[in-house]
Amino acid sequence: MKFQYKFESIKKIKETLEKKAQKELAEVEMHLERCKIEIEKLDNIIKALRIDVSGQKSVRVSEMHHLGRYEEYLKSEKKVLENNMDELVILREAKLEELKTKQKEFKMFETMEEKHLADFLLTSNHLEQITIDEIANQKFARGNL
């Protein structure tokens, strides 16, 4: 007699859902890292502009005006990225909660499988012991007659 877990298909589905949640969380983390890198790039560009302007001896007013508008544009882009990061942090927390739930569900089915296996082995051992006892009784009965 072979052990068959009756909820194996559900367990596989739960495992697949857990892996999907892990993948989604990893994607959110990747987007967060990209936003951080983009923000750092914008900060470096802004710093480089300031250093470039301060390093020049004379700067025309039109150049200052143009650089000022460019710096404001970069700051607005940075603000958009920071807002995206805030949204991604919230999304990451939601995905983390979802992953925890999926892991609990999968673990529950693993625990149930272990309990069913233990019950199966106990029943199997009991049936085997009954069979051995019957064989021993038959041999004893034949030997005494």
What residues contact 84, with CB distance under 8 A and at least 6 apart?
A: 35
Tens of pLDDT, residue by residue over 95-129, are 999 999 999 999 998 999 999 999 999 999 999 99
Please tell me the predicted confidence (pLDDT) of residue 144: 64
Give the pair of three-digit tokens for residue 93: 């927390």
Tens of pLDDT, residue by residue over 59-83, are 788 888 888 899 999 999 999 999 9
Mean pLDDT of the chain: 91
Contacts 24+ apart (CB under 8 A), 98-105: 98/21, 98/24, 99/18, 99/21, 99/22, 99/25, 102/14, 102/17, 102/18, 102/21, 103/18, 105/14, 105/17, 105/18
Please tell me the predicted confidence (pLDDT) of residue 145: 52
Please tell me the predicted confidence (pLDDT) of residue 62: 84
